[in-house]
């Protein structure tokens, strides 16, 4: 079983963040929320490990 990696792991985090903001430009709050939900589901499917996903949800809920 894998563990959630919470260390910095994105090569160019600033560029990723800029891309994330850009993909939301021009969208309403509802459209952005739906986009985020689709993104979460795509990334969860990519991760595929239920234990890691649960750990991520637990950690996010505590933040």
Contact 10, 63 (CB under 8 A): no
pLDDT of residue 5: 95
Task: Quote the tokens at residue 16.
Answer: 């990723």
Q: Rounded to whole angstroms, how far apart are CA atoms 60 and 6? A: 11
Q: Rounded to whole angstroms, how far apart are CA atoms 58 and 27? A: 29
For 39-63, the pLDDT digits (tens) are 999 999 999 999 999 999 999 999 8
Q: What is the pTM of this model?
A: 0.86
Of 16, 52, 46, the C-alpha closest to 60 is 52
Report domain extents, the chain.
13-62
In this prediction, residues 13-42 reach a mean pLDDT of 98
């Amino acid at each position: 079983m894998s563990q959630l990696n919470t260390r910095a792991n994105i090569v160019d985090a600033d560029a990723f963040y800029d891309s994330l903001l850009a993909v939301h430009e021009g969208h309403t709050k509802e459209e952005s929320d739906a986009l985020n939900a689709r993104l979460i589901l795509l990334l969860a499917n990519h991760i595929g490990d239920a234990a890691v996903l649960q750990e991520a949800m637990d950690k996010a809920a505590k933040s």
